Amino acid sequence: MNAIVDWDRNAPQWPAILAAAHGEPVPPALMASPLWQVYGPVLKKGGASVPFVIGQIGQSLDGRIATPSGHSHYINGPAAIVHLHRLRALVDAVIVGVSTAALDDPQLNVRHVEGPQPARVVIDPNGRLPQTAHCFRDDGVRRVVIQTVDTARPPGVEIVKLETGASGFKPVDVLLALKEIGFNRVLVEGGAYTLSRFVTAGYIHRLHILVAPLIIGSGPTGLNLPPIKKLEAAKRPPTQVFQMPSGDVLFDCAMDS
């Protein structure tokens, strides 16, 4: 287990971390703090053509991210929600798949900590998301939809049109397009299909898995990757582990190491 982190929304180091995310120098005292151990590694900008990509997923002890009917609010406790809002505040854009956008109708904004609002990106190849979805509401932040059809969207929503192959969009094409429109650091918030596509393609640089102390017993799992025959082929990323109040445990995996 790594250092004890101050998960309180008013943690005194948070403003300096936000400032570092926007290019301010990192004070030596901050570098020594447990909060920096968690958030320092996500403050990268990615390469010349693709953004830096953080994935996050909240799951039960048995690896489920929702019940079979799709109920997922809330698997994790309050500290994990503060953490998710911190990640949102540190990125330029948050990405979700259309099933999450339609089923959960998430706000995808920063409400539980101080910080700027990220853009919202929905991957909706077939134009399924209703015009009234929260992701599309006009609240001053950029809203982007990635699609292959000609479906019209509410005023102000930026449409990125991509070609789909036999298995949908290539994650790299999604990232190239997002970099092109100015996003240097993005957060893939789910669901399982969307996150798994990015992990399979090798485009999640840092993966935060928040394991909650409950057993759901059935329902979708967080990651579904192509099968491997032997454990030698399993991914074993260098991982930091942080305990949260209320029992959640954060596994912070350096997928790009």
189 lies in the binding site for ligand NAP (CB under 6 A): yes
Question: Is residue 252 within a helix (H) or strand (E), and if so which, with residue range?
Answer: strand 249-254
3-class DSSP assignment, residue 156? coil
57 lies in the binding site for ligand NAP (CB under 6 A): yes
55 lies in the binding site for ligand NAP (CB under 6 A): no
CA distance 237 to 252: 9
Please, which residue, 92 or 189, has the CB nearer to ligand NAP? Answer: 189
Q: Which residue has the tokens 């020594």?
A: 32
Q: Which of 78, 168, 237, 247 binds ligand NAP (CB under 6 A)?
A: 168
- DSSP, res 145: E
DSSP string, 178-228: HHHTT-SEEEEEE-HHHHHHHHHTT--SEEEEEE-S----SS-BS------
99 lies in the binding site for ligand NAP (CB under 6 A): yes
Question: Is residue 82 within a helix (H) or strand (E), and if so which, with residue range?
Answer: helix 78-90
Positions 121 through 140 that interact with ligand NAP (CB under 6 A): 123, 125-126, 128
60 lies in the binding site for ligand NAP (CB under 6 A): no
In angstroms, what is the minimal distance from the CB of 69 to ligand NAP? 8
175 lies in the binding site for ligand NAP (CB under 6 A): no
Q: Which residues bind ligand NAP (CB under 6 A)?
A: 57-58, 65-66, 70, 72, 75, 96-100, 103-104, 123, 125-126, 128, 164, 168-169, 171, 189-194, 197
